[in-house]
Amino acid sequence: MKLNFDYNNKNIQYNLYYKKRSNISINIAKDGTINVVAPVGVKVYDVMNKVRGNINWILQEVDRIKGTTKKITTIKKDKNITSPTNATSPTNTTSPTNTTSPTNTTSPTSITSPTNESEQNNALDKYTYLGKNYGVELEETSGEISVKLVRGKFLVQGGGLTNVAVQTAIKAWYIDKAKTKIKQILKKTDFNKYKIEIDILDNLYEIRKDTITFDIKCVIGPQIVLEYILDLVLCELKGVRLEKDYQVAKCWLETENNLFRGE
């Protein structure tokens, strides 16, 4: 997952990875790339706060590594000779190849989340839309949160990008897309006057008076799942039985969990 924020007129970009570990670590690669590794279950905004809290050290290390690399290239030193910066640094300073944040900046124990929250937080790694998985990139800017599906990923932009805020924004995006797709299909039928709603349901859909409410998983699964659910609705409205075999759709619905279930 790629994250970024502005600091002193600079855009700070870093990579976030989740692994089984006990704390958050910040590593600076030899090319100056900032890599952050967090325990599975830690909230994204906790990671953001961690990075911001160590920004001075991060920038110093990036400048030091880039400066050291440039000096070694220019002067053509032997690769085993350390730069003057390393010569004066404390013995516990790591090599410029892969610099890790100092021990005293490790994450406090209160930052880690219970393991039963891991599934909810892992939802920020990827989302499924019409049967395809898309990664998530967060870009903190001023203004309200917006969601776009671009270049094979969900781009979430705005201020206050907490875990809950990001999930809420992406859920709203799903609902909007589902309504649009369903209305386009029903427009060609005799039931285009029904009000369409999208929600998290125990059933695939609900029909009440002039409103049809679809479960949000109708646009999470492959296109065939949406077609199957719509056919079920149309058959019920017409009072006829469903004749087409939707084995693929049924199999997906039986094996896959709703992305937003368990909020």
For 45-64, what is each residue's pLDDT tens digit?
788 888 888 888 888 888 88
Residues 17 and 108 in one domain: yes
Buried b (16+ CB within 10 A) or exposed e, 152-164: ebbbbbbeebebe
Residues 9 and 103 in one domain: yes
Q: How many domains does the chain have?
A: 2
Is residue 263 in a domain?
A: no
User: 23: closest CA among 9, 36, 10?
Assistant: 36
Distance CA 34, CA 13 (A): 7
Distance CA 249, CA 196 (A): 22
- The last residue of one of the domains, among 98, 115, 132, is 115
CB 168 within 8 A of CB 143: no
Residues 151 and 232 in one domain: yes
Residues 83 and 134 in one domain: no
Q: Full-prediction pTM beyond 0.85?
A: no
Distance CA 117, CA 167 (A): 14
For 9-52, what is each residue's pLDDT tens digit?
888 889 888 887 778 888 888 888 899 988 877 777 788 888 88
- The last residue of one of the domains, among 115, 144, 173, is 115
Residue-range definition of the domain harbouring residue 13: 2-115
Residues 137 and 243 in one domain: yes
Is residue 262 in a domain?
A: no
Q: Is the C-alpha dihedral spanning 158, 163, 168, 173 positive or negative?
A: positive
Residues 170 and 206 in one domain: yes
